[in-house]
Structure 1
Amino acid sequence: MTRNTLILFLTISFFYGCKENPNKEKKPAAVFQKIEETINRVPQKQTSPQKSFRTFEHLADTTFVRLADFSDGFAYDLRYATTNNFLKEKVYDCAECYTRVKTAKALLAANSEFHDNGVRIKFFDCYRPNSVQYKMWEIVPNPQYVANPKKGSIHNKGGAVDITLETLAGEELDMGTDFDFFGKRAYHDMSDLRQEILDNRKLLKETMEKHGFWSIRTEWWHYNLGAASNDRVADFKWDCD
């Protein structure tokens, strides 16, 4: 019963009662106060605005999109928009996660499966403009750590992401090292780790591979979408509000 319907019902009941008993003293103010008290005890339906997300309809697979426009199911810690990274410098003007449409679709599918396991993807890095790749190369001109910008990397193509997993409550899973740890402990074939860490890495790797991504041996956090390998290096830059 809605609030308005309840008001009407109680009001009619009051006046009908008065008609049946004309000698009964009428105290409209007191009665309406009682009606209001009764209504206030009835739980009201709670409504909240639903966020509208964009769709991929009419978008080419190579179009760059902002993941947050398509889902609120991801988490972000975009390190290169801060100084908390191995470069010790901020190289992005602001923290945003963009990918090509085909990469976004694969990430959404993978994240849906992760959600079924009580976790979600947390991003450290996504698409990286090639001009940023040049900036990183100036700071650390070592191909062991930074891809040569003349050739570019799949990050520059919008087909690579650096990620970890966290619980839906926001607690990161233990992967054995921090992001951008350059050492054997970060290798996928490192077995001298606690079983919990091995299980977490296995969940990340097997789920991502199921959705078209492949990993590199030395970085447990890095995943490339196979379908993006032949895309062109790009220097698309997003706006910062």
Structure 2
Amino acid sequence: MTARWLGTPALALLLAACAPAQLAKQPAPEMQVADAATPEAAGMVDIRTLVPDIDLEMRYASDNNFVGTRVDGYEAARCFLQVPAARALARVESALRREHRRLRIYDCYRPARAVRHFVAWAGDPADQRTKPRYYPNLDKRELLGDYISPTSGHSRGATLDLTLMQCDGNDAACVPLDMGTSFDFFDPLANTDSPQATTEQRANRLLLRAAMERGGFRNYPMEWWHFTLNPEPEPKRFYDFVIAPR
């Protein structure tokens, strides 16, 4: 997704000048889809080869997402990342476990065909099934262009969506912290530093951001859950291989 505030030209230009790295969420127009047909060919690895028990809730491999159905290209609930991003994420997870915290991952590499599925969904005004949960304050017509773009940095393999969980002293019961919105909530309330979030919710978002930043990831400020390895291993290439079962 891109954010609604990007539709305000003056503000967008000002913020782009101040924080160009943070705003570079979408691939540049000159980027090309690589012909890699497998994760290995794309230089990606399944995160569970590094952290076998990492918590995955891969929303687009199910119907528990804003589209309301399994998304094209997600034939399995797996998280693929470029090797440097996967290693960095494993280090973040290891550090958090020492604090009785863990990550829950919602999305990693995203096939380009999945992004096309998002665009097709956004262009269908008759399908309003998920409006109450994901965009209650917006007309669906406002999503395409402002929130949903025809390209995604996820397709480069170094961006992921996730949240932070607090575990008990035995690390047996881990519960997601209150972040103020669900994942993929189309609303300014999802901005990482949104003044509409409560003090506790903002503190939880900052805990997540700080942990990820220590691991070398940067947050996209319009979505508290969205992080990209900085610098990206493949900044000018994205992929479309299917996420297949083992």
Q: Same fold (TM over 0.5)?
A: yes
Q: In the TM superposition, what is the alpha-carbon distance from 1:189 to its structure 2 partner?
A: 2.0
Percent same amino acid among aligned pairs? 33
CA distance in 1, matches of 2:66, 2:203: 26
Q: In the TM superposition, what is the alpha-carbon distance from 1:73 to its structure 2 partner?
A: 4.3
Structure 2 residue 242 is the aligned partner of structure 1 residue 240: no
**What's the TM-score once normalised by structure 2's chain length?**
0.67
8 A Cα contact 1:93 1:240, kept in partner: yes
After the TM superposition, which parts of structure 1 deviate over 3 Å for at least 4 consecutive aligned residues? none
Q: In the TM superposition, what is the alpha-carbon distance from 1:145 to its structure 2 partner?
A: 2.5
Task: Return the index of the structure with the highest Cα Rg.
Answer: 1
- Amino acid aligned to 1:238: I
8 A Cα contact 1:175 1:197, kept in partner: yes
Structure 2 residue 195 is the aligned partner of structure 1 residue 216: no
Residue ranges of structure 2 left out of the alignment (5+ in a row) = 1-39, 124-143, 168-172
- Amino acid aligned to 2:57: D
8 A Cα contact 2:75 2:242, kept in partner: no
- Give the match for residue 115 of structure 1: 97
Secondary structure of residue in 1 paired with 2:177: coil
How many residue pairs align between the two structures? 179
Pick from 128, 131, 136 the counterpart of residue 110 of structure 2.
128
- Amino acid aligned to 2:161: D
Pick from 80, 84, 97 the counterpart of residue 98 of structure 1.
80
**What's the TM-score once normalised by structure 1's chain length?**
0.69
8 A Cα contact 1:119 1:165, kept in partner: yes
CA distance in 1, matches of 2:82, 2:166: 26
Residue ranges of structure 1 left out of the alignment (5+ in a row) = 1-59
Q: Mark the CA change 1:144 to 1:208 in structure 2 (over 3 Å): closer, same or farther.
A: same
Q: Which structure is richer in relative contact order (CA contacts within 8 A, separation 6 or more)? A: 2
- Amino acid aligned to 2:77: A
8 A Cα contact 1:188 1:217, kept in partner: yes
CA distance in 1, matches of 2:196, 2:113: 38
Task: Render the CA deviation track for 1:152-201: whole Å, top value 9, x for unaligned.
Answer: 32200001100001134221111111001111211122134332212211
8 A Cα contact 1:160 1:222, kept in partner: yes
Residue correspondence of structure 1 range 61-100 to structure 2 within 5 A: 63-91=43-71, 92-100=74-82
